[in-house]
Each structure stands twice: as C-alpha cells, then as structure tokens.
C-alpha cells in the first residue's frame, strides 16, 4: 500500500511535466545546450521520487496502448498550458514547474494561440512575443505529426473555392471526408503516418498536402521554407530541434518554489478535489495486485 501510494503520488506530481519525453522512444536528443530557468532542474525529484521517470513511462505506455490518440491530446495540452498560462525524441525535461492557481478562459486561450487559418506571418509574430524564433515555430508545428482535426478547421481551403496551393488529389480526398463547409467529421493531421511521431509532416508540406493554412504556409513563406525542407530531409535534426523548442516552451511563465500548486488532478484545483488522490491511490493498489496474480 505504501509503495503504491508513493508511486501514484509521484506520478501526479510531475506527469504534466514529463509527458513530452515519454510519448515515444525513437532517438536520444541532445539537450545539453538548453538553458533552464531558476527553480527548475534536471534532477528535481532525484531524492523525493527517484523512480519517477519509469513510473510515468509505464503508466503512459498503458494509456497509449489503449488509445494512441491520447498522445496527441497530451501534446496539445502542453502547448495550451505553456502558451496561455505562462514516436519522437526521447529527451530530458527540466523538472520543478508547478501548476497555476487559475485556469485560462476560452478568450485568453484563443488570444494566445494562432488559429489553423493563420499564415506564417501571424504565427511568427505571435510566437516571437514568447521568445520563440522561426526554427522553434517550424519545429513545434511538427506536433501535427499525430492527432486529428475537425473539418471546420480547414474547410475554408476547400469551399467555396479550393485553395490553389493545395494538392488537387489531396483536396478531393478531403472533400470526401468533409462534403460541406460545416461538416462535423474529422480526419488525420498527417496522411503519411498518422499514428507515428516522425518527420513525414514536413514531407506532406513539400507535397502541398498540409492540412491547415498554418501548416502549408510554413513551406510557402521564404522565412521558414528552408527549415521545413531540412526537417523533411533529416529526421534526426527535426527531433533535436523539436526537443530544444519543447524545453524552451515548457519554461514560459514558470511557477516554482511556493508559487502555485502541484495538483492531484490536473483539471481541478487542489481545494476542490480532496478525495480524488485517495481514490486514485486505491485504484493503483488494485492494479498492482492484479499484475501479481
């Protein structure tokens, strides 16, 4: 019981911090050059929870085995949390970041995240306010290597007239999935390898098969085109830059020390979920017992 309780507590302490490094195990990215802000460290839980990485990796593997779509969801959560409240590379993550005491409103979220209809100029300008450069923009956009999208996020490129930049065959296939501008259907973000985090997203862009305007314009704009090409040619380079950019993004508006809190349930502030942790610890104990049978 004690071991299980400790394991589960450690999992919730930093699951929201480590998940980018735990989706995939393709290559080891060199993040030694990545600076970290005061209050964070590479070994924050070395004494209090030394097995934290193996615990979280094990849990997430179970989740992704049941539903690979959860990987895309967690990646998107990282983008939203860092921008608003502040298969891929296997890399270390600076630890010690705490959760905020408030949740961002829908309006604030929309103001901080460029929409899928935005062009490269809008995206570059928006992320520049967060000290992210063109390489960061292109690398982080590679998060669209996995996941799905609702038709309404890109049907502006299909109706009433087709975006001439979009490959015709690709457009016709999309029209089959989304027969009207307000269709409620969904489709994958990456047609070449939708369930694998790799560099095929950039190959899509070079073939005019980017789903969103915000995707395809990265290959149209002269400031980002060469970066897209380099990532399409060299997957290792993409992984390295993606890791560095994720680490940079993960340190926006960081709360450390006694600021903020470490939530037992990521979606609820601690004062509102006193019984949640105890309930989940019991669930963890039952899972451990089942594995021993």
Residue 282 marked in a binding site: no
Neighbours of 11 (CB within 10 A): 19
Is 198 known as a binding-site position? yes
Which ranges of 150-191 does DSSP label H, i.e. alpha helix? 168-177
Q: How far apart are CA 128 and CA 124, in angstroms?
A: 6
3-state secondary structure of 272: helix
CA separation for the pair 247, 66 (Å, rounded): 27
144 is in an annotated binding site: yes
Phi, psi of 265 (to 5 degrees): -130, 115
Longest alpha-carbon distance in the chain: 62
114 annotated as a binding-site residue? yes
- The dihedral built from the CA positions of residue 153, 107, 249 and 59, taken in this order, carries a sign that is negative
Q: For residue 261, what are the β-bridge partners?
A: 99
Q: Which residues are catalytic?
A: 80
Residue with token string 């393709």: 26
Alpha-carbon distance of 198 to 205, in angstroms, equals 14
The answer to whether residues 231 and 139 touch, using CB atoms and an 8 Å cutoff, is yes
Tally of CB atoms within 10 A around 238: 26
3-state helix, strand, coil in the chain (%, to 5): 55, 5, 40
Specify binding-site residues for Ca(2+). 190, 198
Return binding residues for substrate.
114
Binding residues for heme b: 144
Binding residues, as ranges, are 114, 144, 190, 198
């Amino acid at each position: 019981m004690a071991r299980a309780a400790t394991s589960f507590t450690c999992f919730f302490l930093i699951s929201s911090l480590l998940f980018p490094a735990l989706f995939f195990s393709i290559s080891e990215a060199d993040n030694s050059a990545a600076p970290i802000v005061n209050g964070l460290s590479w070994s924050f839980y070395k004494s209090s929870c030394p097995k934290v990485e193996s615990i979280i990796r094990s849990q997430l593997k179970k989740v992704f085995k049941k539903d690979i779509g959860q990987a895309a969801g967690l990646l998107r959560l990282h983008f939203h949390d860092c921008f608003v409240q502040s298969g891929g590379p296997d890399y270390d993550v600076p630890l010690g970041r705490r959760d905020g005491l408030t949740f961002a409103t829908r309006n604030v979220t929309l103001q901080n995240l460029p929409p899928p209809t935005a062009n490269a100029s809008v995206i570059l300008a928006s992320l520049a306010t967060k000290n992210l450069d063109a390489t960061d923009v292109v690398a982080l956009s590679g998060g669209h290597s996995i996941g799905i999208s609702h038709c309404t996020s890109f049907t502006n490129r299909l109706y009433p007239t087709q975006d001439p930049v979009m490959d015709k065959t690709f457009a016709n296939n999309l029209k089959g999935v989304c027969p009207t501008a307000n269709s409620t259907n969904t489709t994958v973000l990456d047609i070449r390898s939708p369930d694998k985090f790799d560099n095929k997203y950039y190959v899509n862009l070079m073939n005019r098969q980017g789903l969103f305007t915000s995707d395809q314009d990265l290959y149209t704009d002269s400031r980002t085109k060469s970066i897209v090409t380099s990532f399409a040619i060299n997957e290792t380079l993409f992984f390295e830059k993606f890791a560095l950019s994720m680490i940079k993004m993960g340190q926006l508006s960081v709360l450390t020390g006694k600021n903020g809190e470490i939530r037992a349930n990521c979606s609820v502030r601690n004062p509102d979920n006193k019984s949640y942790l105890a309930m989940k610890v019991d669930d963890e104990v039952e899972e451990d017992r089942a594995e021993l049978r």
